[in-house]
Amino acid sequence: GHGTAVGIARLYSALTEPGRLLSPELLAEATHIQSEGHCPVLGEEATFGLGFKPTTARRPFGPHPDSFGHFGTGGALGFADPHERLSFGYVMNHVIPRWQSTRNRSLVDAAYASL
């Protein structure tokens, strides 16, 4: 999909409010591992929920196991950390030829350091 960083952060913020967009039960189901293994699109091992990626040690969104979100092409990122009541959106105006840049990790780390 397409969106602004603010729009993505607002979506994830709304998802962390019980019942606002999804019932707590549906959100729990959507953000837990539904499939894992080799992804032919990414060309690597991947873990997926239902529309969201649960946080994993290999591709963490944040330090808490209930964090969920999704990475985008070139390092775009949106996620929520319900434990910290944090939502995050990051998009770029220039896409680098990699699935994930290191810039997004630095920004996520800075956001957590500011809490």
pLDDT tens figures, 4-14: 999 999 999 99
Task: Give tens-digit pLDDT for 18-69.
Answer: 889 999 999 999 999 999 999 998 888 999 999 999 999 988 999 999 999 9
Q: Cα separation of 106 and 90, whole Å?
A: 11
Instruction: Return the SS3 of 66.
Output: coil
Delineate the domains of the chain, giving CATH numbers in brackets. Answer: 5-113 (3.40.710.10)
